[in-house]
Structure 1
Amino acid sequence: MGTGCDETMSKRKSKTTAGPKPDPAAADESTAEGRALAVPDLEEQGPVLPDRLPVLPLRADVVFPQTVVPLVVNRSAGMKLIDEVYASGGDRLIGLATQKSPEAEEPGPEDLYPTICVGSILKMLKFPDGSTRIVCQGLVRARLTALERADPYLVGRIAPMDEQAERGEELDALVHLINGLFNRLSDNVPEELQVAAMNTRDPARLADLLGSSLPFSIEEKQALLAELDVKARLMTLGQFLTRHLNVMELSTKIQNQVGSEITRAQREHFLRQQLKAIQEELGEMEPEAAEARELERKIRRAKLPPEARGEARREIDRLSGMHPSSAEYSIVRTYVDWLASLPWAKASKDHLDLKQARVVLDEDHFDLEKIKERILEYLAVRKLKKDMKGPILCFAGPPGTGKTSLGRSIARAMGREFVRISLGGIHDEAEIRGHRRTYVAAMPGRIIQGLRKAGTNNPVFMLDEVDKLGADFRGDPSAALLEVLDPEQNATFRDNYLDIDFDLSKIMFIATANMLESIPQPLLDRMEVLELPGYAEEEKVLIAQRFLIPKQLEGHGLTGKHLSIGDDAVRRVIADYTREAGLRNLERELAAICRKVARRRAEGQKAGTAVGADDVPSYLGPPKHFREVAARTGVPGVATGLAWTPTGGEILFIEATGMPGKGGLTLTGLLGESMKESAQAAMSYLKTHTKQLGIDQARFARTDVHIHVPAGAVPKDGPSAGVAIAAALISLFRDEPIHRDLAMTGELTLTGRVLPVGGVKEKVLGARRAGITSVLLPRYNEKDLVDLPEEVKADLTFRGVESLDDVVSALFAKPSKRPAKPKSGATRPGKPPGSKGAGVPRRASQ
């Protein structure tokens, strides 16, 4: 609808009413700068209103009766309406309706407030910019009941509204209240408005005058216009005036406070500058300046690279201009202190004497030739090439095998500092890269913290339990380690807190893990993996006698005169009270024996105590473990398999039984998909090779087979039990037991091929701990036996198999005689007693 759009305008250049001034550039018409005052000589009785009147929409103003206002009309429909009404002569009446939304260009009935003011056009002026300006006098209130025409301008049906006014003390009191509130605004309103308010005696006219002239919102003005009860109108006006006064008083208070703060700050700055000049003349220095000077000295001593030095100087300049009470002062101070305390140019000198390094490594650990050779190779290349980048090694093996202690020994052999951080359970990427300085309590990551603790930029840095990193909504720490553990990238490692490159290429990183499968492949690809298998029983005995028992005696205030534990007692503890690849549980059990002896000593026992094999139960109670091979095997349908676990190798019993049925197969024992498929493949092979295996074909059709793997609460999976499952089924259908001392491992194909598997070293050691004497393993895994201890090779008989035919020929054959067990304390072949390293166990840590 094309209707006119009007806004108030004043031609007065004197003081304006309080409130925000509209921005002329923000609207498409000129805005009001003031308001005309009420005409005191108007007649009480207004003109007779017609039923229909042209309606002029107003964007941002409300016209009240008995007021004269200037309006600007710049929409085509509005200008056409003014031209026709003004040319018609007479009263020139129009309806002045306020828009609910000033943005509406063609307002309809829903866009206009229903209560309007009927006014008369007193004067019209045309301006060169195309707009029309009029002076209009409000006459009476009316209600816009309907819009009957929209083209070329709005024409609406109106109904007059009568005011309700009852004289009395209450009305006089309201008038007195309004005058009092208005007088408090006298400093913020034009003088003409004050005079007009003083000369207005009619309460209704006073309410209209103040409502139209004071800086109320459109909604508030429209509420006053729509109120017909004069008392209610005055009460509403009083509420608006009170709120407006409160806002003005609060605004004045805030302005005074801000001005006072600025004045005080300027005064303090001026006095501080004077004090600084006086201190410089006297040769004195305030604490802030002294602290900045001290930081500058630290930065010079740290020998920062150019980028870091420039950043440090910028921060020190900022710090010198801050007040110590500023919130940012401590943040900048901590940041500069971190820059100054990092070992940018401080490195420890490597011990490049290879013979001496070999001696140091042999003192802490015996054997481990691969690891020792790797360290000596690094030192050799370092001796020839000074700027060689540090290697990144990963020690993988069961818990308690000495992975962490190896890092300390390597650092001692190389003459470097040792730093260890535990990564187990870390979920936040910021633990590696640090937090941004914008965060509260931001800190660098653990890599930078470890370097600060080491004090050198080339320590041996151990990342413990790298396989136990987690990831959540805070990021993936393993992804952050990709840069740290890449020799091509870590020379420019950027911590989020420092936001400056730091060279990590001189660090020798060593990671430890129990399981390589849980390490992300890109991270595993950056590391050189060195595997540490579990300990043999002889090694555990030697470690206990040389290191663990002396350590526990000292820790419990005992000596060798107070307590002696024989080799046979240690063997019984190993066999009956521990079942592990490492040494931690063995050390705990030895500590329990020492505690009981220490208590007896504290109670007054004087004689020394010698603990033999028969005495162990009196100290440790009934045995916790027993060798169950003899009890579980020796019946048809039972085979012994070998399993790998993160804590070392274990034996695994496969039990198969048959019952009358229709050839069904049931699998129990919390088996994974791979293990179930291995059982199905073994069953299919038996059904298709009954003649070669000596099995009655007809039994399959009338027998339901149930395969169960004990320890049903423990999840089991993997294809390496395929050979053992097939052996149990063959034993069942041939009704012939497998030899008790035989264990086996290997993946079985549908054609009977035996494929290689992993974890052979750990599985063989687990078999030996369980009392197994003969092991069947894939022929391709025979190469994994090279690194086994000689004692293990002497105690076990190994047979490589390529197909299930080779397995069947070994299942029921008479096993070879078990070789004699070496005596306690026997040394390795080639090491005469008394020679260097003779009898020292593998990975035995002091």
Structure 2
Amino acid sequence: MKKKKSPIKPLKLNKKDLVEAETKPEKNSSSDAGNDQGLNKPPVSPLSVLHDAADLLEDAGSIPDDAQVAIPTTIPVLAVRDIVVFNYMILPLFVGREKSVNAVEAAMTGDRYVMILTQQDESVDNPEHDDLYRTGTVCMIMRMLKMPDGRLKVLVQGVSRAKVKRFIGSEPFHIAEIETISETEATKTDPTQEALIRSSREQSEKILSLRGISSTDIMSVLNNVDEPGRLADLIASNLRMKVDVAQSILECENPIERLTLVNTQLTQEVEVASMQNKIQSIAKEGMDKAQKDFYLREQLKAIKKELGESTDDAEEAEEIRAAIKKAKMPKEVHKEAEKQLRRLEAMHPEASEATVIRTYLDWMVEIPWKKQSRDRLDIIEAKKILDEDHYDLEKVKERILEYLSVRKLNASMKGPILCFVGPPGVGKTSLGRSVARSLQRKFHRMSLGGMRDEAEIRGHRRTYIGSMPGRIIQGIKQCGTRNPVIMLDEIDKLGSDFRGDPSSALLEVLDPEQNNSFTDHYLNVPYDLSKAMFICTANVLDSIPRPLLDRMEVIRIPGYTEFDKVNIAKRYILGRQCTENGLKEKEMIMSDEVIAKIIKEYTREAGLRNLEREIGSVCRKLARKKAEGEKGPFEVTTDNLHKYLGIPKYIEDEKENDLPAGVALGLAWTPVGGTVLHVEVSTMPGKGKQLLTGQLGDVMKESAQAAVSFARLHAEEYGISPKFHEEQDLHIHVPDGATPKDGPSAGVTLVTALVSALTNTPVDPELAMTGEISLRGLVLPVGGIKEKILAAVSLGMKRVLIPSQNQKDLEDIPKELCEQIKIIPIKRIDEVWPLAKAK
């Protein structure tokens, strides 16, 4: 085999040069030493690394021109990834694949030449012949070092371009028959060549200037290279290019064409460097010099924007857009959300308005627009749950079961608006929780007591700092469904002032025909509340505005009778209080008589709160005994009850066996239940003056005036002197003067007491009465019949007079209560006196 002469001059490197050439590229090396990926390309920065080439060319210039390189035609092949090796290029390589290690060792035992070919696909771990480019570079292995992990570190120098004529074998390493590519000599007088050389030098100098690199030494090296092929290889070996582009330059045999390709890449690199400088200038203009961290973030964002890559803000916008799509908003709401998102994307992320819009969009995507819980439509199971949680309250339970039945037959029905009205402590709020439990819906309670700001219901405009949706929308969001049970507690205690009237804002919320498009000021888009079930609670209806009351279905929850309270205490209160105070139910024995005594002598209420407190007080006393070592069970009797609760707080009014003339027993309603009033009338010689005492209200005073007028009109019928209003003074008094009293229901009692005083005839002490009167003598209906009859039974009355129009209310009274007293309906006041006179 003859050795061909090559125009390539080998480089003479002493030990110092080898060390420098080997160590310089390692400063930025990113070798994957542990993944056995074979050869790895050390990252090469654009022309700034021409510093490393200066010494190389100086050494090359010192070699005699008659030196020749003998390259064998059959040579080991070394496959590399993501790098193309050019002539005159010195670089370290890490060799880890078995075939690559074998090829290097074979070359080291011979003349140290190896053919370096680049893989077409860098992901292939064991490349075959078809996976390699056919044009590569013959390199000389200058130095080899074995690493502790078994890999090899070699320093190679490009010697000559070559082509693979054919592959001879692949085991234990690739061997190929090659043909070197001779460098075509270019004409030195060619103006195109000169123009390309100058352009390449100028572009290189411009890149170095834009990078802020001193170009004196590097440009002196480039100015000394006049051969276009060598200049092209020198620059190309230090340019950041894709593998396919670099391979096309390597395969170009014509030096002028090769330099032309390199010059094109230099032009692109100049544009990139100029754009980077522009990005840096733009990012720096809008920021304070002292905000270094902020400047770096802005610079990074600007770079990503120019490269077309997504930034953090863009990722956030995409996340919000995906959340908007997932929320399944109505069409008009989705349109508004997209509009606000586009505004957010156009804003600077640090702008104050951006924070407002971002918060708004967070609310929009978190509100349940379509999600709703599935109702429990098992009527029997729902009734069982209602009975477990509450005793009696049949009307309320019946209404809930009716709703469930209709809901089962008509899934599109609107949620009802219920209003539970009753005295404190009867279980209105807990009943709302029980309704939600029976329906298997989420429950949200909202207290309206003392609320004066309309924005609490409708929310604040987004123009205000710290604005947020109203409490209705907040409750919907907390529940996570659009059909929860929302309890508006204490709706009768709403206030109003200069900030608005919350009760007026509730008109839309509590109207099934309007709340399907409820608009919160913060969201500013309609929201469908028709699927939610609203339950309001109130103690009285007088303070609720009439338009608001008209939108609700009122369900009255009266006070409990003594019988009801005893049963509730046995079923619910005793066990709960024992558990809360560390006792077992069997450790406390309390009979029905003891519970009844607590109700009579230590509580006076329509509800159960005080009863539960008193029973809890007994449990705490017993818990102390148990803690001190005493063993139960502990029995509480009527005789030792005072040891636990002290002296009785209330003493029942003793029933009088005889009433003096001028005294009648009336029935009154109070927020804590019914009560019996003694109405007293005294006559004195005088000139017809009338004195009303007992802290009577205006309505009750008017009832007294009507009673006097009725007595004057019917004086002869009752045997009263027609001139009593001129000859006698009247004093009408209702005891318990510290308690205000008002209402028209004492009219019948006032007439009876007045006639009794004027005729000096006593009234039956076992008779109580209630009813409003008119001047024509009619007895008009009144309210609170159940509570009044309960009070009469408690005092031991045997008969009670009620207006005939109140007979319908007797259906709500337990049968056992009606059996304890005789109820007599009356239509006219004429019927009262024959029944009221003492026999």
TM-score by length of 2: 0.63
Give the match's secondary structure for 1:653.
strand
Q: Does 1:731 align with 2:756?
A: yes
How is 1:196-595 mapped onto 2 (pairs within 5 angstroms)? Answer: 263-265=285-287, 275-276=300-301, 278-279=303-304, 286-595=311-620
Deviation by residue 1:468-493 (Cα, 9 ceiling, x = unmatched): 11111111111001000111110000
The question of whether the paired residues in 1 share the 8 Å contact of 2:305 and 2:311 is answered with: no
Choose the corresponding residue for 2:779, options 732, 754, 766.
754
Deviation by residue 1:530-582 (Cα, 9 ceiling, x = unmatched): 11111111110010011001111111111123322211110000011111111
Give the CA deviation at 1:279.
Answer: 4.1
Deviation by residue 1:301-351 (Cα, 9 ceiling, x = unmatched): 221112222222222333334444432333222211111111101000112
Residues 667/563 of structure 1: CA separation in 2 closer, same or farther (3 Å cut): same
The question of whether the paired residues in 1 share the 8 Å contact of 2:283 and 2:302 is answered with: no
How is 1:70-219 mapped onto 2 (pairs within 5 angstroms)? Answer: none
Choose the corresponding residue for 2:742, options 710, 717, 736.
717
Give the match's secondary structure for 1:436.
coil
Amino acid at match of 1:300: K
Q: C-alpha distance in 2, partners of 1:381/1:782?
A: 31
Q: C-alpha distance in 2, partners of 1:381/1:507?
A: 15
The question of whether the paired residues in 1 share the 8 Å contact of 2:606 and 2:671 is answered with: no
Deviation by residue 1:69-121 (Cα, 9 ceiling, x = unmatched): xxxxxxxxxxxxxxxxxxxxxxxxxxxxxxxxxxxxxxxxxxxxxxxxxxxxx
Q: C-alpha distance in 2, partners of 1:787/1:607?
A: 42
Give the match's secondary structure for 1:604.
coil
Residues 358/560 of structure 1: CA separation in 2 closer, same or farther (3 Å cut): closer
Worse-superposed segment, 317-326 or 772-781: 317-326
The question of whether the paired residues in 1 share the 8 Å contact of 2:763 and 2:837 is answered with: yes
The question of whether the paired residues in 2 share the 8 Å contact of 1:395 and 1:512 is answered with: yes
Q: C-alpha distance in 2, partners of 1:597/1:338?
A: 52
Give the match's secondary structure for 1:690.
coil
The question of whether the paired residues in 1 share the 8 Å contact of 2:470 and 2:520 is answered with: yes
Amino acid at match of 2:568: I
Amino acid at match of 2:708: M
The question of whether the paired residues in 2 share the 8 Å contact of 1:627 and 1:771 is answered with: no
Higher relative contact order (CA 8 A, sep 6+): 1
The question of whether the paired residues in 2 share the 8 Å contact of 1:666 and 1:707 is answered with: yes
Q: Does 1:702 align with 2:724?
A: no
Amino acid at match of 2:553: E
Q: C-alpha distance in 1, partners of 2:767/2:781?
A: 18
Q: C-alpha distance in 1, partners of 2:504/2:392?
A: 35
Give the match's secondary structure for 2:462.
coil
Give the CA deviation at 1:608.
Answer: 2.6
Give the CA deviation at 1:705.
Answer: 0.9
The question of whether the paired residues in 1 share the 8 Å contact of 2:604 and 2:672 is answered with: no
Q: C-alpha distance in 2, partners of 1:498/1:539?
A: 48
The question of whether the paired residues in 1 share the 8 Å contact of 2:762 and 2:838 is answered with: no
Give the CA deviation at 1:591.
Answer: 1.0
Q: C-alpha distance in 1, partners of 2:672/2:565?
A: 16
Give the CA deviation at 1:375.
Answer: 1.9
Amino acid at match of 2:632: A
Choose the corresponding residue for 2:626, options 578, 601, 607.
601
Q: C-alpha distance in 2, partners of 1:294/1:631?
A: 80
Give the match's secondary structure for 1:630.
coil
Deviation by residue 1:159-211 (Cα, 9 ceiling, x = unmatched): xxxxxxxxxxxxxxxxxxxxxxxxxxxxxxxxxxxxxxxxxxxxxxxxxxxxx
Worse-superposed segment, 581-590 or 637-646: 637-646
Amino acid at match of 2:816: E
Q: C-alpha distance in 1, partners of 2:774/2:483?
A: 50
Give the match's secondary structure for 2:537.
strand
Amino acid at match of 1:492: S
Q: C-alpha distance in 1, partners of 2:307/2:791?
A: 81
Q: Does 1:740 align with 2:762?
A: no
Percentage of identical aligned residues:
54
Q: Give the equivalent residue in structure 1 for 2:817.
A: 792
Q: Give the equivalent residue in structure 2 for 1:802.
A: 827
Give the match's secondary structure for 1:798.
strand
Q: C-alpha distance in 1, partners of 2:808/2:775?
A: 25
The question of whether the paired residues in 2 share the 8 Å contact of 1:662 and 1:703 is answered with: yes
Q: C-alpha distance in 2, partners of 1:425/1:596?
A: 37
Larger Rg: 2
Structure 1 stretches lacking a partner, 5+ long: 1-259, 815-846
The question of whether the paired residues in 1 share the 8 Å contact of 2:747 and 2:771 is answered with: yes
Q: Give the equivalent residue in structure 2 for 1:650.
A: 675
Give the match's secondary structure for 1:613.
coil
Q: C-alpha distance in 2, partners of 1:298/1:771?
A: 69
Give the CA deviation at 1:766.
Answer: 3.1
Deviation by residue 1:677-726 (Cα, 9 ceiling, x = unmatched): 21111112222323322334455443211001223233322211111111
Amino acid at match of 1:617: H
Q: CA RMSD in A?
A: 2.6
The question of whether the paired residues in 2 share the 8 Å contact of 1:404 and 1:512 is answered with: yes
Q: Give the equivalent residue in structure 2 for 1:774.
A: 799
Amino acid at match of 1:338: W
Amino acid at match of 1:801: I
Q: Give the equivalent residue in structure 1 for 2:279.
A: none
Q: C-alpha distance in 1, partners of 2:322/2:640?
A: 67
Q: Give the equivalent residue in structure 1 for 2:60.
A: none
Give the CA deviation at 1:813.
Answer: 4.6
The question of whether the paired residues in 2 share the 8 Å contact of 1:629 and 1:741 is answered with: no
Q: Give the equivalent residue in structure 2 for 1:184.
A: none
The question of whether the paired residues in 2 share the 8 Å contact of 1:484 and 1:493 is answered with: yes
The question of whether the paired residues in 1 share the 8 Å contact of 2:603 and 2:649 is answered with: yes
Amino acid at match of 1:707: I
Amino acid at match of 2:518: F
Give the match's secondary structure for 1:743.
strand
Q: C-alpha distance in 1, partners of 2:298/2:339?
A: 21
Q: Give the equivalent residue in structure 2 for 1:686.
A: 711
The question of whether the paired residues in 1 share the 8 Å contact of 2:655 and 2:796 is answered with: no
Residues 630/298 of structure 1: CA separation in 2 closer, same or farther (3 Å cut): same
Residues 589/282 of structure 1: CA separation in 2 closer, same or farther (3 Å cut): farther
Q: C-alpha distance in 2, partners of 1:493/1:511?
A: 18
Q: Does 1:614 align with 2:639?
A: yes
Amino acid at match of 1:600: K
Give the match's secondary structure for 1:666.
strand
Aligned residues between the structures: 556
Q: Give the equivalent residue in structure 2 for 1:170.
A: none
Q: C-alpha distance in 1, partners of 2:657/2:668?
A: 17
